Amino acid sequence: MPRRPRPAALAAIVLLHLLAIYALARAFAPQQTASVERAVLSAVTVTVETKQYEPPPPQPEPDSGAAGEEGRKAVPRPVVAPVPAITVKPAPPAPRASSTGTDNSSGARDAGTGTGAGGTGTGTGSGAGGTGQGGGIATKPEWIGGAINNARDYPRPAGGRQARIGSEVVVKVTVGIDGRASGCSVYKPSPDPEADAITCRLVEQRLRFRPATDASGNPVAADFYWRQRWF
């Protein structure tokens, strides 16, 4: 009785035939073979838009810096109090202890305690001329390296990869003076929370930035918004 070929031998024979057919197709029909290869590879890759996301401008805050203008000087109305028909002179207060003087009270007196217009104040002031470093941010952070463009970085969702196509997530990170991202948070979520968390982790691990600078050209930490889209 002839021996049946083993499954491993059959698989090797089939593989050799497939390789021979692929080689012949590459030799005699290279364009058609290349189009088939691109169609197969497009099923496992994604395209990423790397444009920087600009968040909406913050609402302006009320100015609490300089002091306000001087108020208008008040001038009293020309009203004269009516003279009472009978004037009653109040009795002077009697001293608490008898003595030989003529005053109703004893001891020295301090300066008056009226409202007055005090001298130069010593309060907190309006803070119009601070002496801190200040200056704000002159240039924003800039993405210069790293990418998130492989579909294998994200697990397959319940409805397949087609369920994620067309959606996007925007994450917010802080770019330090070393050009690395940290403190990632989801600014605009996608329908897939798991993919959003993976995007945060990959931004911190893979991407590199040129840090922001102040008016003097020194690197400073600043926020950066990264948009990840799935196609």
- For the cut 50, the answer to whether the pLDDT of residue 205 exceeds it is yes
Q: What is the pLDDT of residue 172?
A: 97
Domain boundaries, the chain: 1-38, 135-231
207 phi and psi angles, rounded to 5 deg: -85, 145
Cα–Cα dist 49/149, whole Å? 9
Across 45-59, 114-128, 150-164, 168-182, least confident range? 114-128
Cα–Cα dist 126/61, whole Å? 16
Q: What is the pLDDT of residue 130?
A: 43
Q: What is the pLDDT of residue 151?
A: 83
pLDDT band at 133 (very low <50, low <70, confident <90, very high): very low
Segment holding 209, helix H or strand E: strand 208-210
- Output 150 or 141, whichever has higher pLDDT: 141
11 phi and psi angles, rounded to 5 deg: -65, -40
- Output 77 or 139, whichever has higher pLDDT: 139
Across 1-5, 164-168, 186-190, 200-204, least confident range? 1-5
DSSP state of 43: G
Query: What average pLDDT does the chain have?
Result: 75
Coil, strand or helix at 42: helix
- For the cut 50, the answer to whether the pLDDT of residue 141 exceeds it is yes
pLDDT band at 92 (very low <50, low <70, confident <90, very high): low
Cα–Cα dist 13/107, whole Å? 124
| Contact between residue 181 and residue 117 where contact means Cβ atoms under 8 Å apart | no
- For the cut 50, the answer to whether the pLDDT of residue 215 exceeds it is yes
- For the cut 70, the answer to whether the pLDDT of residue 7 exceeds it is yes
Instruction: Give the CA distances from residue 120 to residues 18, 111, 123, 131, in Å, rounded to whole numbers and listed in that order.
Output: 96, 18, 9, 21
Beta 222-229 vs 168-175: how paired, if at all?
antiparallel
- For the cut 50, the answer to whether the pLDDT of residue 189 exceeds it is yes
The CATH number of 135-231 is: 3.30.2420
- Output 99 or 196, whichever has higher pLDDT: 196
Place of tokens 């109305």: 77
- For the cut 90, the answer to whether the pLDDT of residue 50 exceeds it is no
Tens-digit pLDDT profile for residues 143-183? 999 999 888 888 887 777 777 888 999 999 999 999 999 99
